[in-house]
Each structure stands twice: as C-alpha cells, then as structure tokens.
Structure 1
C-alpha cells in the first residue's frame, strides 16, 4: 500500500472543496472496495477524504411519494428498512443477495454505486488492463473471460459491473443526487454508469470531485409483482453470472408498466427499453410473450468463447424472473391468509 494523506470533511461542501484542491484524491466511506484495491496496489490515491461524518445517513419520503436514501446509509440498513421491504422488495432482495452480512454492515449505498469491477486482470497489476492502465490492452479479450460481458463491450474492455443493488436501482428508474463544484444536480440512474467504449477507465458520468449524496426511489416500486433472480456459481458470497431485476405493474391482467435490468452481463446494469415497450398493454401471464421478450434481449448479445453460455443462461433467467414476479402476489396473499387464520 502506498503512502497517502488523510483528511476528514465535516460538510458536503468541504468534501467537494478538499477533493477539488487535492490531486489524485478519493472519498472514503465504508472502504470495503477501495481499501482492498489499495492493498493490492491497483489503486494508489495520494489522499483520502473521510466523509463518514457527513449527515447522509437518513431515509426519508420525497414530495413525489418516493424515498430518498442518504449515500452513507449502510447496505444492511437499507435492505432491512421496513419501508423498503414493503414498497421496494426487489431492492431489498438484491442487496441481500450481495456480499456477506459483515460487508453489507460496513458498505454504503454511495460506495456500492461506485464499486469497481472484479475482473481478475484488473486486480492483477502484471496483466494488461485498459481500465487500470489506459492504453495497455485488455488481457480478458483472449484470456479467461467466463465472468465477462456479453452486452455493450468493446475491444478495449469486456469487464462487468459487480453490483447487485445497482441492477435493482436501474430497474426501478432511480435517480442520483450529486454535489459538485458547480452545485447540486440530479442524474437519472441509467446515465450514471458508462459503457467502456475506448475509455473504460472512465466508469461513470461523475466529475472527479463530485460526491453522490443520495439516491431517490420513485413512487412506483412494483411491490406486488417483482423479483431479483441471481444465478451464480455458489449460493453465497459470489458475483452474478447473470442476474435479473424485474418489476411489473399489472392491472386487469395486463402489463401497464415494467422495469427489467440485467446484471453480470455488461459494464453497467443492462436494460433494453425497446423490448420493454413491446410488453406494455400485453397479457401479463402470456408465457410466449415472456419468451419472445427474453429472445429479443439476448439476440443483441456479443459473447466471447468463454462466456457464450451466458446468452442462454440470460434468456432462461429472464423467463424464470417473470414466473417468480407474477407468482409473488399470490404467494404473499396465501401467507397473509395463513397469518389471519393463526
């Protein structure tokens, strides 16, 4: 680990100012990803700006009926918040599918959004990686790429985004509150993360000194029909091969709104809004439509030899997610009935 300076910010404005005045600085909150990268000499910041004392730990209603989640709320606190479990169960499921209980207790919501890929070549300073060392090449292209992207990749990078939480936030059409030198702004969640293109080291649309202060959830949480389905090599503490966050609003048996995002398959949570639009107004329980929807999405995949299996895996996972999401309300109704009888 390299030598670095340490500063503690007492306000959001001070945090932004310190970052802007300091070369090669990083914000430090839970540190569950950043500290690991520093230990491995993958990241070597000259300065750390501690933001753990900032007043960003609240969860509160928004004027439009949604929820605002402070960036320093822990993953565990968010997953177990009664309002989130009731109104946004897909998000709670996604959080609890990630990492371990110990890490979720320490990791923050803002940090989860900004965590970096777990590509083996990114973590190995001896390997070529355009994300870690721009212009050095991408060893994963012809190397071990079983875990890598099948959508939106480029000849410069085929890494995937590791977050489970972000997949659910993408499906929910969340938004991100940001503070920077030019003031505060709001960014649609889908615009936060970038595809690699020819600059894979630029992973988000944030300016270097910008600080995520909160995430806003919309009023629509798809609480009645939703699921987070994660397919992985082992049941716990493993990153997704493919994951699906799916939420549906069903009225009179018809799909009136939906959000579907995939994880483990791209440099960012992957949505195909063109395919989603074709489902609006269709019969919710039409399994042939589910299969066509899944087929449309995976038809645009561009896998490598080592991860070609993900195409069929993603197709099946999407179909299975529809089954689980549409069964969610009936299962909850049966549970409620049992509790009433008891």
Structure 2
C-alpha cells in the first residue's frame, strides 16, 4: 500500500505541474519550486493525504472537501456535525485513523456550539463517497465558554495507539491553563476510541481531569512526533512575542501565563520569564512569528532538509526551517512564501505542502527545482 500511495501522489504532482504556474525559491540548501496545487478554499486549516492520491482539506468556515489529483475541488462533504464558526473558531484539523485502509475512519476537530458557549471537540467518523457517516464525538473540552479565540485543535496519533489533542486557553480564561480541573490550555491524551488510557498520568488523581497530559499552554496550533524519540513536539502562540516550541511531556507545566517571553498586546508585562517548576521553551521567537502548522521533514527528496523541523508563520508569510542538534535548535532559516501559512505537511511524494490562511486560500507545494 505504501508504494501505491507514493506513486499515486507522484502522478498527481505531475498533473499539477502541467497545469499550474510555479516560481523558484533560492534557499540555503537547494533551489525549490513553489507550485500552486489549488485555490478557492475559505481559510483552509488542516490537510490529510488519502491512499488514492487525493487529499482531504478542512476549511475553517465549516467545510470538508476532497482535492482531486488534477487540483480540482469537490463539493463540500455532507454529514458534518454542527460547527460554531466565529473569529478563530470553526472546523480545524483532519487526521486519518491508523486503520483507515480497513475502516475508512477519520478524526476531525472543530468548535462545537452549546447553550453555554462553545469548545474544541473531536469526532470520529466514517468517510463515505460524498459525506461523513457514523459521526461520534469522542472528546469535548470543558467548560464551554463564549470566546472567539484560542481553540488549539491540532491532532496527532502516537504509536498507532494514542490520540493527542492540543487546546488553547480561550483568551479571557488564560489563568485556567494553570489549574487541572478544566481543559483550557492543556494537551489531552486518549485512546483511539476516545477512552482514557490506563497509564495517563492523572488517572488516579480525583482532583485532576484524567485525560490531561500536560498544562500551562496558551494556544497550540502545531504538533508533530519526533522521528527518533517518538515524543510529541508542539509550538504555541505567545501574546506579543514569546511564541515557543516545546517537547510536550506528561505532567509538565509549560508556564502560561505565569512565565512567558511575550507581553500584553499594546505593551505591558504579563509575568516573568522563568520560575522553578515550569518548563523553559526549547526555542522561542521575539518578535512573534505567529506559528501555525508543524512537521518534521523525513525524506531525501529535498537535499539537506532531512530531519529539519518545518514551521509555518502566519504573521510574516514564511516557512521556517529549523535544524536540530538533539533537543537543541542549531540553526534557523526563513523562507519567504508571501502568504499566511496555516498548515505544513510532508506529502508521500517527498514534497512539502502548505495551506494559506486567506478567504481565497490555496494549497502550495514545495519541491526541488528541476
């Protein structure tokens, strides 16, 4: 299946190249071709590659579509749950179940409306030809709150066994990130069916929600597994400055809003930069790049990029490439794309796919220039 998958995507890329314009980008390691795969997406947010060569793409406005191998878009799929679209809220990520080839199941994260506000929610559903069926909510963050901000929403599967869900502090509820009786500002760890793993760190602590993995987060919109250690790496938005990358480990407190390298919007101190018992970031940005989307690049198709960490920048319209020395960032390269980058994915063809955050959003592809 893996070889068929890769060849199918490679064939699709040849079709895209024949029909859409491209430009050359000069980078430190190699020259790259930047191609437009498709456009006409309303603030695309998440991307998944299907075994038949198509892609699934979410739009924050509450739509899920196929991207066909010729770059055309399907009509929005039917069967999605009710989604509250407001501000930063809407439909977020999409992720294939590890057994997708057998069960056609996908996970989606979205902003679920309720009488008391809304919250980040995850559903497991079956993907049919033109719709989702058997939609089952497996997680819904509490408490519900009326806010247009800081939902998190990234999904990552570890060891084909555990589902990580990243959450934001909902803006006005930032102090909740330091208490363990709520989901705001947390990373959640579940079994694939939504049940709580028996080895979760707080399952025997009645004062703590048993699905919590880590806490003290502001708004995580990038998450990926390290290719060697298998650990969860995340990045999160700082306020005005102080975006950070963390290795997200069980029970650790990442400090928000007690410690941060950012400040209030418009100026003003929030907290301090360090405190005993709270984790320092692996890497941080001042001024803020507004990071969104993250992937480890694991292929040889782009020379010199293997094992780099790729991060999208909403604020500067860049792709940030980080070289690592163990758990340290040894070098940073900024590649100007010129559009707000919402998500970053490595495709089965070894290319890097980017989602642009705009009303007429695009899927772009980076690959070695020929």
Shared fold by TM > 0.5?
A: no
Query: If each structure's helix is expressed as a fraction of its own residues, which one has the higher value?
Result: 1
Bigger relative contact order (CA 8 A; separation at least 6): 1
Question: Normalization by structure 1: what TM-score?
Answer: 0.27
Query: If each structure's strand is expressed as a fraction of its own residues, which one has the higher value?
Result: 2
Question: Normalization by structure 2: what TM-score?
Answer: 0.25
